[in-house]
Amino acid sequence: MKLLLSEKEVQKKVEALAGKISQDFLGKEILLVGVLKGAFIFMADLARQMTIPVKMDFVRLASYGTGIRSSGKVKFTKDLETPLRGQNVIVVEDIIDTGITLKHLSQCLKARRPRSLKVVALLDKPGRREVNFHADYVGFRIDDHFVVGYGLDCAEEYRNLRGIYVLK
């Protein structure tokens, strides 16, 4: 395993993202929607750096490479518990790879008529994109490596690492 982003670099970036989002939504309340499981640590840190009121909810989607890809639709294994109508929603994701997950998830959530819908992703691998998708807020653009740590796993391992590592 090789260190790609240190704990300090990650924390600095999360703080900057939270600052930017707080500024963009000044005077408003937002609902953070975390995509389980990968985003849980990023979401916890992001939420605690926000300077505006936030509510939180989570979705869990059918695992990578299965339901979503074959059906072309998002398959929720855990749906939101909060109605989205009239809310400023920010989807919080760990990493964008092919873009398939977030493209379909945001289409699906938009259909629920939130006031606004934005996406924040800590990591982005633009070189791997299979569908056209751009997040509104991106922490780091990285090369095409499989990474673990800070919520990201390989077969459920390494999520608790404080930095982000390339798996060799």
**Catalytic amino acids?**
97
Residue 63, binding choice from ligand IMP, Mg ion, none, Cβ under 5 to 8 Å by partner class: none
Phi–psi pair at 35, nearest 5 degrees: -95, 110
How far apart CA 42 and CA 6 sit, in angstroms, is 14
Residue 18, binding choice from Mg ion, ligand IMP, none, Cβ under 5 to 8 Å by partner class: none
**Is 99 among the residues that bind ligand IMP (CB under 6 A)?**
yes
CA nearest to 45, candidates 89, 2, 99, 9: 9
**Is 114 among the residues that bind ligand IMP (CB under 6 A)?**
no
Among 21, 31, 38, 91, binds Mg ion (CB under 5 A): 38
Query: What tokens appear for 116 in the block?
Result: 């606004």
E-state strands within the chain:
2-5, 30-36, 54-61, 76-78, 88-96, 116-124, 137-141, 147-148, 164-166
**Is 146 among the residues that bind ligand IMP (CB under 6 A)?**
yes
Q: Between 25 and 164, name the residue whose CB sits nearer to Mg ion.
A: 164
**Is 101 among the residues that bind ligand IMP (CB under 6 A)?**
yes
* 3-class secondary-structure state, position 166: strand
**Is 98 among the residues that bind ligand IMP (CB under 6 A)?**
yes
**Is 38 among the residues that bind ligand IMP (CB under 6 A)?**
yes
Binding site for ligand IMP (CB under 6 A): 38, 64, 93-101, 146-148, 152
